[in-house]
Chains A and B, each alone.
Chain A
Amino acid sequence: KNQVEQSPQSLIILEGKNCTLQCNYTVSPFSNLRWYKQDTGRGPVSLTIMTFSENTKSNGRYTATLDADTKQSSLHITASQLSDSASYICVVSDRGSTLGRLYFGRGTQLTVWP
């Protein structure tokens, strides 16, 4: 069964600190993996996308890693800001159908305290 599991479910950190969010998946055949940021009451916004051949990709203070062998990804946030408080969702796409099916994790709720 194609699944995406994220940990931790929630995380509280102080402003300025770093944190790492985890995503494990069993989706096959794998096409790509995206990390989305979803502010409360709004739609998800894409942060990074990684394909099978990529190991690391950065977008400002966000750095995503991908280990396609172990089917694990992480999102590292550096020097956190209050505006980083949001839900971070790992989304994996398969390439087994023309739909390019998307599989969603439940998200990690990050809260950054001043």
Chain B
Amino acid sequence: EADIYQTPRYLVIGTGKKITLECSQTMGHDKMYWYQQDPGMELHLIHYSYGVNSTEKGDLSSESTVSRIRTEHFPLTLESARPSHTSQYLCASSEYNTLLGTEAFFGQGTRLTVV
């Protein structure tokens, strides 16, 4: 099982609140990602990082922000949560193998509900 952890697993929060979703990995991977996934739909990349102090926006526009101060930690923050932010958020990290190419490892996800 992959060593990548997300907390909390479930979060119900009121509109307007600030929240931070935590993601940590102990594999020493430089590349980390945040995906958003609605029920029955595909994963959409919202943020990624090549390493410390490197963050980029993904394909899907998101009002969230990320930071990468330490290699193992890649938190995602919503300054003011809205019901439209209700979704599952998946964190991942990856390594490149010369034989197999890129392999991604996923956390268990955070199910966010904004009421």
Interface residues of A (CB under 8 A from B): 31-32, 34, 36, 41-46, 49, 51, 89, 91, 93, 95, 98-100, 102, 104-107, 109
Among the listed B43, B48, B103, which residue makes an inter-chain contact with A49, where contact means beta carbons less than 8 Å apart? B103
Residues of B with C-beta under 8 A to A49: 100-101, 103
Among the listed A42, A43, A89, A100, which residue makes an inter-chain contact with B102, where contact means beta carbons less than 8 Å apart? A100
Bound-complex Cα distance A51 to B45 (A): 23
* Chain B interface size, under 10 / 10 to 19 / 20 to 34 / 35 or more: 20 to 34
B108 interface contact, C-beta 8 A: yes
Closest A residue to B35 by beta carbon equals A104
Residues of A with C-beta under 8 A to B104: 34, 46, 91, 102
Bound-complex Cα distance A51 to B98 (A): 11
Residues of B with C-beta under 8 A to A91: 104
Among the listed B45, B48, B90, B102, which residue makes an inter-chain contact with A32, where contact means beta carbons less than 8 Å apart? B102
Contacting pair B50 A32 (CB below 8 A)? no
Which residues in window 48-105 of B have CB below 8 A to A? 48, 50, 88, 90, 92, 94, 96, 99-105
Residues of A with C-beta under 8 A to B47: none
Contacting pair A105 B100 (CB below 8 A)? no
Contacting pair B42 A106 (CB below 8 A)? yes
Closest A residue to B41 by beta carbon equals A106
Give min CB distance, A53 to chain B, whole Å: 10
Contacting pair A41 B109 (CB below 8 A)? yes
Residues of A with C-beta under 8 A to B41: 106
